Amino acid sequence: MSYQVLARKWRPKVFAELAGQEHVLRALVNALDNDRLHHAYLFTGTRGVGKTTIARILAKSLNCETGVSSTPCGVCPTCTEIAEGRFVDLIEVDAASRTKVEDTRELLDNVQYAPTRGRYKVYLIDEVHMLSSHSFNALLKTLEEPPPHVKFLLATTDPQRLPVTILSRCLQFNLKRLTIELIRDHLQYILKEEKLDYEAPSLMLLARAADGSMRDALSLLDQAIAYGGGTLNETDVRTMLGTVEQRYVLELLQALANGDGDALLEVVHRLAEQAPDFSGVLADMIALLYRLALARTVPGAVDESLADHDEVAALAETISAEDVQLYYQIALIGRRDLPLAPDPRSGFEMILLRMLAFRPGDGSVPGPRVDTAVPSVAPSAAGSAKVTVSDRSASSSAAPPLGSSAADVSRQSTAVADCPAAAENSATVVELLDSSEWPQVVEKLRISGMVKELAANCAMVRRNGDTLYLQLSEPHKHLLGEQREKRLEQALQHYCGGAPLKVRFAVEGAITAETPARRNHRLAEERQREAERSIESSAQVQALQEAFDARIVPNSIRPAS
């Protein structure tokens, strides 16, 4: 007997064997068991989700010799002939090859005649959206009032192209794309039944490549079995699909977490030797970032059965939730723009460099997020607190992510500040009680976004013991929020070497002191005025004005940096 492909061998024969689509099955089962049958059904959805399969099982349920029910016997001559595609009263039509109105009229000429063998004459029209407008018009009246012995089963991947007059005469069932987990579990079941050896990661690769289609998944499984000589292993499946090993994606994200541009490009170089699909690599990176986001925010939702669970969990500890979201967004946009790059590799490298350059930080040149100085707190002679900034070697561990708890921040920074070597390398002393230093302190804090906006619009009032009092003007009180205040407090604790610093806010009508935001605005205006003076006093510009009667366009001058 010739080999039968898995997609045909494992095509469901009854509703109970279908994977997914419970919302459709429930409606059909209830209608069949309670004898509430409509004359026309429309099944929509992407390829390979079960539209034609459900239609054939429904035809079998309507004509089974044991009676109309949701559980056809599967062994009577009618069920057998329908399964083999030779039942005379099941008329299957491929609308893509019979688009002419003459074909439709010829088909409908036989509607009036009673079925030859079965209880109902069933018309299964696949890809019905391909019919011409004249064909739809010819079908319309019959579809609305067919003889009692006729049932129409329509299937389409593009319901938007069907006239509303057709849609209004059918019961519509929208079949969903199948999830990766559901496809993986079904492939696992089939392999066990076929008694074939496999590695679990290979099934996840096939399920993801199937893109929501069970038929595509079974076709890929057939190909993978042939490629691996009867067994499935992750390396073979990756090679067959043209995907890269997961370790490369892990190494890329680890290099990003370390801020190590050299290591990042070295991984890309090794990756390029395999001539990968860089768009596929980005897709793998997006999928891994999703898992990292789950591990950071909802640890209970992480699938611990995956082989690389421990590696992903360890990586999640080194990347802040803020960075994960940034990388995810850049990867999504980068994958869309990748075809516009001069070549895939340079486009891929540019996306990674963008992740490195735009990660939250102090705006300095991208690099490892290791502070060059770690402050420690010591009391001054007058009893007020001073911050002693100590130099830190490049081999020191990276600062904890902003999303770390206050206790974590306190434990790690304190450990460096208590180091005798760090105390001996004291370089600078910043008086926190001097409000004029507050703008410089804000610039050195590891904060961004709305947290930085909050700090920039505050003025420092005083420090009393371990409590720092900040003042915020009435127009900016909307910046306050429990999470933002907590993150600013954590950043200040980290800046102060892990001191148990508390921050208190007061809202006033107006602030006379210069806030960091006002200082930045003042400095920007000074740079703008200096740029305008530089252009206006330039001998070259003046010569151009005299020679060509030229003029300087107002508001066109911008500072160089």
How big, in percent rounded to 5, are the helix, strand and coil portions of the chain?
A: 50, 10, 35
Q: Average pLDDT, stretch 415-437?
A: 40
Work out the pLDDT band at 394, boundaries 50, 70, 90: very low
Read off the pLDDT band of 319 (50, 70, 90): confident
Q: What is the pLDDT of residue 302?
A: 77
Quote the CA–CA distance of 215 and 175 in Å, as a whole number.
14
User: Residue 117: is its pLDDT beyond 80?
Assistant: yes
Q: How far apart are the C-alpha atoms of 153 and 39, rounded to whole Å?
A: 9
For 81-94, the pLDDT digits (tens) are 998 889 999 999 88
- Sheet of strand 458-464, all strands in order from the earlier edge strand to the far edge: 458-464, 467-473, 502-508
Average pLDDT over residues 322-342: 92
Q: What is the mean pLDDT of residues 348-374?
A: 63
Rounded Cα distance between 267 and 520, Å, is 39
Does the pLDDT at position 274 exceed 60? yes
Q: What confidence category does residue 360 fall into, taking pLDDT thresholds of 50, 70 and 90? A: low
Beta strands 467-473 and 502-508: pairing type? parallel
The yes-or-no verdict on residue 155 having pLDDT over 90 is yes
Read off the pLDDT of each residue in 246-272 and give the average, rounded to a whole number. 90
What is the per-residue pLDDT for 306?
A: 67
Question: What's the pLDDT score for residue 238?
Answer: 83
What distance in Å separates the CA atoms of residue 231 and residue 307, rounded to the nearest whole number?
Answer: 18
pLDDT confidence of residue 435: 57
Proportion of the chain above pLDDT 70, given as a percent: 85
User: Per mean pLDDT, which range of 15-19, 29-33, 61-65, 244-248 is the poorest?
Assistant: 244-248
pLDDT of residue 561: 65
Between CA 244 and CA 252 the distance in angstroms is 12
How does pLDDT run across 497-553, given as a tens digit for each residue?
Answer: 888 888 999 988 778 888 898 888 899 899 999 988 998 899 888 888 888 888 888
Mean pLDDT of 173-200: 92
542/424: higher pLDDT:
542
So what's the pLDDT on residue 354?
92
Q: Name the pLDDT band for 361 (thresholds 50, 70, 90).
A: low
363 has a pLDDT exceeding 80: no
Q: What is the largest CA-CA distance in the chain?
A: 107
Residues shown for the chain? 561
pLDDT at 406 over 60: no
Q: What is the pLDDT of residue 311?
A: 83
Q: How confident is the model at residue 69 (pLDDT cuts 50, 70, 90)?
A: very high
Percent of the chain residues past pLDDT 90, beyond the cut: 37
Whole-prediction pTM: 0.56
**Using one digit for the tens of pLDDT, what is the confidence trace for 445-488?**
888 888 888 999 998 888 888 888 899 988 888 889 888 899 99
Q: Are strands 150-156 and 40-44 parallel, antiparallel or unpaired?
A: parallel
Name the band, by pLDDT with cuts 50, 70 and 90, for residue 364.
very low
pLDDT, position 45: 92
Residue 197 · residue 236 · CB < 8 Å: no
| pLDDT category of residue 434 using cuts at 50, 70 and 90 | low
Output 527 or 399, whichever has higher pLDDT. 527
pLDDT at 340: 92
**Measured between alpha carbons, how far is residue 256 from residues 288, 315, 449 in Å?**
14, 11, 20
pLDDT at 273 (0 to 100):
86
pLDDT band at 313 (very low <50, low <70, confident <90, very high): confident
pLDDT at 392 over 50: no
* pLDDT at 286 (0 to 100): 93
Number of H helices, E strands in the chain: 24, 11
Average pLDDT, the chain: 82
pLDDT class of 305 with cuts at 50, 70, 90 = low
Query: Nearest to residue 146, comparing CAs of 171, 169, 118?
Result: 169
What is the average pLDDT across 90-103? 84
